[in-house]
């Protein structure tokens, strides 16, 4: 399923739409406040500039309502972003019981994946469409970055620590890899 936004890669997991929605919300809030603040700076620059070189400004006392508003509104927006992000994160970290466990090992310059059926792959991962998948990841040598953009998954795989993440691919997709990511191909 293609993302509604052309900036994002194809959605190849069950939680990708929630991640895209959250990122769109955060981006729109940042753009809104960036435009409003920039416009205010430009308008106030021309409106309140010194008319004469020796002019001194009039002292202005603060308005408690304005100060409260510019503390409460950003706090509420930040808490909304945090709450939404926490819900998406918990949904992402919680894998259902009926998962296909795939063991993934990161080692120097490669990823090795093994499924319970015995299928072993290097730098490629084939998972069934619509089946819940849990990746159980470990590193043999250094910290590795597991990154599949279409899954909206980015995990650090650290030596001596087992890392888990789950997903249910809703449709066939091909995920192009980069040097730091696993190349995943979702097959029906």
How far apart CA 27 and CA 126 sit, in angstroms, is: 33
Q: Output the pTM of the full model.
A: 0.74
Give the tokens for residue 144: 């590795």
CATH numbers and ranges of domains, the chain: 1-188 (2.60.40.420)
CA distances from 143 to 137, 148, 163, 180 (A): 11, 16, 12, 11
Name which residue leads in pLDDT, 2 or 33. Answer: 33
The length of the chain, given as a count of residues: 188
pLDDT band at 106 (very low <50, low <70, confident <90, very high): confident
CB 99 within 8 A of CB 132: yes
Mean pLDDT confidence for 71-77: 96
Give me the percent of the chain exceeding a pLDDT of 70: 85
Question: Between the CA atoms of 178, 179, 181 and 186, what dihedral angle is there, to the nearest 10 degrees?
Answer: 50
Average pLDDT, the chain: 81
Element (H, E) at 103: strand 100-107
| 181 has pLDDT over 80 | no
Across the range 116-136, mean pLDDT stands at 82
- Token readout for 20 is 């895209």
CA distances from 135 to 113, 129, 147 (A): 9, 15, 12
Q: How confident is the model at residue 82 (pLDDT cuts 50, 70, 90)?
A: very high
* DSSP category for residue 53: T
Q: How far is CA 33 from CA 67, 74, 81, in A?
A: 16, 10, 15
Higher pLDDT: 111 or 167? It is 111
pLDDT at 44: 92
């Amino acid at each position: 399923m293609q993302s509604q936004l052309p900036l994002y890669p194809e959605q190849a997991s069950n939680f990708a739409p929630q991640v895209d929605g959250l990122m769109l919300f955060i981006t729109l809030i940042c753009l809104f406040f960036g435009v409003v603040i920039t416009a205010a700076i430009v308008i106030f620059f021309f409106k309140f500039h010194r008319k004469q070189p020796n002019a001194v400004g009039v002292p202005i006392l603060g308005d408690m309502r304005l100060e409260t508003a510019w503390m409460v509104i950003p706090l509420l927006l930040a808490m909304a972003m945090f709450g939404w992000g926490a819900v998406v994160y918990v949904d992402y970290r919680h894998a259902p019981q009926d998962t296909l466990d795939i063991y993934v090992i990161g080692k120097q310059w490669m990823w090795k994946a093994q499924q319970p059926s015995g299928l072993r792959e290097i730098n490629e991962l084939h998972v069934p469409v619509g089946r819940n998948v849990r990746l159980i990841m470990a590193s043999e040598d250094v910290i590795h970055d597991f990154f599949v953009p279409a899954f909206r998954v980015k995990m650090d795989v650290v030596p001596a620590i087992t890392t888990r993440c789950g997903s249910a691919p809703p449709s066939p997709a091909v995920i192009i890899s980069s040097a730091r990511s696993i190349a995943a191909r979702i097959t029906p």
